[in-house]
Amino acid sequence: MKLKLSALMALFLPIIAFAEDKLDTGDTAWMMVSTAFVLLMTPAGLALFYGGMTRSKNVLNTYAMVMGAFVLAFVVWIVAGYSIAFGANESAALQNVFGGFNHVLLDGIKWTDLSGTYPTYVFIAFQGTFAAITVAIASGSVIGRMKYSTWMVIVILWGLLVYAPITHMVWGGDGALLFDAGALDFAGGTVVHMNGGLAGLVLAILVGKRMGHNSVAMKPYSILLTAVGAALLWFGWYGFNGGSAFGANAIAGLAVMTTTLATAIAGVTWMVLEWIVYKKPTLLGIASGIIAGLVAITPAAGFVDVTGALILGSVGSIVAFFGVVKLKKIFGYDDSLDAFGIHFLAGLWGALATAFLALNDQDLLWDGPLKESGDRMGQFMVQLESVVVVGLWTLIGTIVVYYIASALTGGARVDEETESTGLDETIHGENVVNN
């Protein structure tokens, strides 16, 4: 027994010495748990949320779109995405929007390196789960009619050309365009939700509407699965928002509280809206409201108090309800699972409202007009700049990525027979029924 203990001590001696230097075990544990929480959000939460809403003949394809996006996007993140987002660029002009290639395959980063009080590898993995869920969100807009091969190419290119540069601009540190401007985005209102939601809409318009759109009933496979998915997303979101405090600290506690409250009031708001408009509150509606609330609070979770959380969640739910119920009909686009209506619109609201709802507290705020001079209108203009820059980059970048992917795969859209039969059988050779 003594020999085994001595061997274990010898094995972990470098780690113990490393830990006694600067590493905080509480922060490290929280960040590892947060990474696991965010990971759960995609191949479990989002996949079930989307899978339950789609038609029975496309359930497995929907799940594969989300899960395939996650695993591939994470690999892309490690290979080059992290370097582009958080690396350094010798050109000051390029550093505004692009981090560079100095950390390709995590070159130059040791397992003993720290990001604050926890390992850099944990930070990289945590951020990688953000990269993976963002592109997975966009899949919800094109369910039922896009080639799987095209989607896989889009995941690779979009992660490098759209997601990573946007992440750099907002969170890339000194020299990054929107970071230097003082844009407030606590956990990804612009980086994740506006970005993924708008990309989804662009792809939906480019690939075209589903056969029978607005003329054939497209009943969801299982609203119960969607509700379970929403619950898992809510659970995972504590890592998403709480983890963005980058430690087991008071700001993480604030983010957990505001996330819970905003989400709860958003679910109530959507339920009441359906009760008023349709005379029947639906489970699908409550689940949709929950996601809208989670999205709306994300850019502000560590900046606002409970009053701000109530406003962000309730109004965010109203905005998303309008996008799903009215806006889609007005413009006639076919956003299959409402990625744009919920993620982009609620994210846009949250990003802009942060300027007026953030507490004027020096211990919470990042550098920017609000922290430096209490200038809320100045902060709003910075927030407006950030949503415009992100919107334009996503719009143009997604169009470019779509046409490259389409050219490489011989067109992005499945043929009519495949779409009619269902993508589960035709693309994956699987179905949800056990024969």
With respect to residue 305, please indicate whether it lies within any of the assigned structural domains.
yes
Q: Do residues 117 and 22 make contact, with C-beta atoms less than 8 angstroms apart?
A: yes
- Segment 63-85 shows an average pLDDT of 98
Please check whether residue 140 is in contact with residue 229, taking contact to mean a CB–CB distance below 8 angstroms.
Answer: no
Residue 13 has pLDDT above 60, yes or no: no
In a domain, 9, yes or no: no
pLDDT band at residue 12 under the 50/70/90 scheme: very low
**Do 193 and 343 contact (CB within 8 A), yes or no?**
yes
Output the DSSP codes for 12-72. Answer: HHHHHHHHHHT--HHHHHHHHHHHHHHHHIIIIIIHHHHHHHS-GGGHHHHHHHHHHHHHH
Please give the radius of gyration of the chain, using alpha carbons only, rounded to the nearest integer: 22
Residue 182 has pLDDT above 70, yes or no: yes
391 part of a folded domain = yes
Domain span at residue 320?
Answer: 27-428
Model confidence at 217, in pLDDT bands (50, 70, 90)?
confident
**What's the Cα-to-Cα distance from 141 to each of 209, 290, 426, rounded to whole Å?**
10, 19, 20
Q: How confident is the model at residue 21 (pLDDT cuts 50, 70, 90)?
A: low
pLDDT at 85 over 70: yes
- Higher model confidence: residue 22 or residue 8? 22
Q: Is the pLDDT of residue 9 over 50?
A: no
What is the number of structural domains in the chain? 1
pLDDT number for residue 146: 98
What backbone torsions phi and psi does residue 119 show, to the nearest 5 degrees?
Answer: -65, 140
Looking at residue 218, its pLDDT comes to 87
56 lies in some domain: yes
Is the pLDDT at 3 greater than 50? The verdict is no
Q: What is the CATH number of the domain that holds 327?
A: 1.10.3430.10
What is the overall mean pLDDT for the chain?
93
Within-domain flag for 19: no
**Domain membership flag for residue 190:** yes
Whether residue 6 is contained in a domain is answered as: no
Per-residue pLDDT tens over the stretch 185-211? 999 999 999 999 999 999 999 999 999
Domain contains 3: no
